[in-house]
Amino acid sequence: MRIRNTAFASIAIAALALTGCASGDSDSVVSGDADVNVEDGLVIDGELIADKETYEAAKEQTLSLYTGYQDANQKAFNDAFTADTGIKVEYVRDVTNKLSERVLSEHGAGRLPADVIITSDYKVANEFGEAGIWEPYTPLPIEGEDELQHDDGDFTTFANVAVTFAYNTQLVSEENAPKSWMDLLDPANDGKIGLTTGTAGGSSIALNRFIQEEVDPDYWTKMAALNPTIFDSGGQRQEALARGELNVATAGTASVNVAVTQDNAPIMMVVPEEGLVLFSFFAGKVADAKNSEAAEVFLNYALSKRGQSAISQVGDYAARADVDPPVSAGIELPPLDSEQVWIMPAEDELEYGAADAEIWKSAFGR
């Protein structure tokens, strides 16, 4: 028996040693100069985020968040939220479809632990509504502004994510860098283009629609001829670009921003002549959420000026028009109403999503 004890003891010691290590503070992308006032409820930069009763309850809770939002951005946003409100967040980030499958299964089994869900796919959010997953909630800062609310207030536009492309600055000089979506079809990029699967999630839905409407219906076929590498996730795609395995790749402006400012990744994004492609992330409160108050505070914060500018600071477009466009990797991006910004109309997905995905699939033989 001594032997067994020794073995367990050594494992336990290893575990303790590891978990006992101090947590490191990361440099925050979001500036910390918010004016937080907790005298009567929670007021940040003059906007009411939570009344006293709600805030008192929420402070004791740990919010459980399911999100399809980019990992690094979500992390930065959550950090800002926790710093400003003192409410902790536990989140799980996964690709849209896996997240949706999980939410539907867990909800069906009566074990959905999430208090707030963020997804980029209108159709998925719509299905959640049919399954009774949402509890309609209007965030305090946007009361009366219906254009950000969908499906009778089930969920709210939380952020707009810009899809563009980026290039590796060590492999492509600035003057040779592509300026438009059509430039990507340069034969020099043969085998050096990175894409993600065109069938998963809001970004591909928006990009597919944009390509059909604004660029060239045969664009994907022409792209396929250049043997692009198709990744399962955007993270892998950007890592490959940063490591110089690709010349160019489609990219989210926010994650480029994080990689450039935090990790000194040798990549740079482009504002294409045809435009940046924006698609929305939707956030909603889960019915019977265990941490209901924390969920409300989170949604209020997310749609507050402070929360929205946090989104802008991580490199994404805010949902609210009264917040400045993001500066990404040193480039000031065009405002929401610019010609160079194309926003995916959320409800259009139901009409075009499947057909556009078929076009993409047949182009790439998937």
Partner 1 sequence: MTYTLPPSEQQDEQSTRAVATSRGVESPAPKSRNRGRIALKNLRREIPSSVLAIMFIFLIVLPMIFIIIAAFSTAVPRPGNPDVGTFTWENFAILGTDRGVQSIINSMIIGTGAGLLSLIIGALLAFIAARTDAPWKRFIYIAGIAPMFLPALVGALAWSILASPTSGHLTLFLRDIGLGGGINIYSYGGIIFVLGLYYAPYTFMLTYSSFAMMNADLEEAASVHGAGLRKLFGSVTLPLAVPALAGAAILSFTLAMENFPVNAILGNPAGIETLPTYIYGLMVGDPQPNAAAAIAIALTAAVVIVTVVQQRVVNRKRFTTLTGKGNRPRPVPLRGLRWVATGFAVLYFTLSVGMPMIALVLTATSKNVYINRFMDLFEGFSFDRIAQAIGQSDFRESMTNSIIMAIAAAVVGTLIAFLASYVRYRSTSRLGQLLEQIAMSPLAIPQVVLGMGILWVWLSLPFPVYGTIALLVIATLAVNMPQGYRSISSSMLQLDGDLENSAVMLGAGRMRAVRNITIPLMRTGIVSTLLLLLMLGLREMSAILFLYTSDTRVLSILVFHSFENGSISYSAAISLVFVLLIAVVAIATQVIGIRERKFKDASL
One of 41, 45, 83, 97 touching partner 1 (CB under 8 A): 97
Please measure the distance between the N-terminal and C-terminal CA atoms of the chain and give it in whole angstroms.
Answer: 56
The helix/strand/coil state of 63 is strand
Site string for partner 1, 129-158 (x = CB under 8 A): --x---------------------------
When asked if residue 32 is in the footprint of partner 1 (CB under 8 A), the reply is no
Q: For partner 1, which residue of 102, 138, 182, 216 counts as binding (CB under 8 A)?
A: 102
Smallest separation, CB 245 to partner 1 (Å): 5
Amino acid at 193: I
CB of 317 to partner 1, least distance (A): 21
Burial 260-276 (b: 16+ CB within 10 A, else e): bbeeebbbbbbbbebbb
Q: Which is nearer to partner 1, 54 or 78 (CB)?
A: 78
Residue 173 binding partner 1, by CB under 8 A: no
Encode 41-80: b = buried (16+ Cβ within 10 Å), e = exposed.
Answer: bbbbbebbbbeeebbebbbebebbbbbbbbbbbbbbbbbb
Give the nearest distance from C-beta 337 to partner 1 in angstroms. Answer: 32
Among the listed residues 142, 184, 205, 265, the single contact to partner 1 using CB under 8 A: 265
User: For residues 183-205, b (16+ Cβ closer than 10 Å) or e, as one string?
Assistant: bbbeeebeebbbbbbbbbbbbbb
Q: Of residues 255, 292, 312, 313, which one binds partner 1 by CB under 8 A?
A: 255
Which residues 285-324 are close enough to bind partner 1 by CB under 8 A? none
Strands 193-196 and 229-231: parallel
Based on the shown chain and the rule CB under 8 A, indicate whether residue 337 belongs to the binding site for partner 1.
Answer: no
Measured CA angle at 195 (ends 191, 199), to 5 deg:
135
In 136-263, at which residue ranges do the beta strands (DSSP E only) sit?
Answer: 149-150, 155-168, 193-196, 229-231, 248-252
Task: Return the residue of 91, 220, 279, 342 that touches partner 1, per CB under 8 A.
Answer: 91
By the rule CB under 8 A, 14 interacts with partner 1: yes
Residue 294 Cβ vs partner 1, minimum distance, rounded to whole Å:
15
Residue 160: which of 32, 311, 289 has the closest Cα? 311
CB of 249 to partner 1, least distance (A): 11
Which of 109, 144, 187, 322 touches partner 1 by CB under 8 A?
109
Distance CA 101, CA 11 (A): 35
CB 201 within 8 A of CB 231: no
Where in 56-75 is the site for partner 1 (CB under 8 A)?
64, 66, 71-72
Minimum distance of partner 1 from residue 72's CB (angstroms): 8
How many residues bind partner 1 (CB under 8 A)? The answer is 69
Map tokens 């198709």 to a residue: 230
Examine residue 174 and tell whether it contacts partner 1 (CB under 8 A): no
| Choices 4-12, 173-181, 278-286, 344-352; region in contact with partner 1 by CB under 8 A | 4-12
Rg of the chain in Å (alpha carbons):
22
| Binding residues vs partner 1 (CB under 8 A) | 1, 3-4, 6-7, 10-11, 14-15, 18-19, 21-24, 26, 64, 66, 71-72, 90-93, 95, 97-98, 100-102, 104-111, 113-114, 131, 170-171, 197, 199-200, 229-240, 242-245, 255, 263-266, 365-366
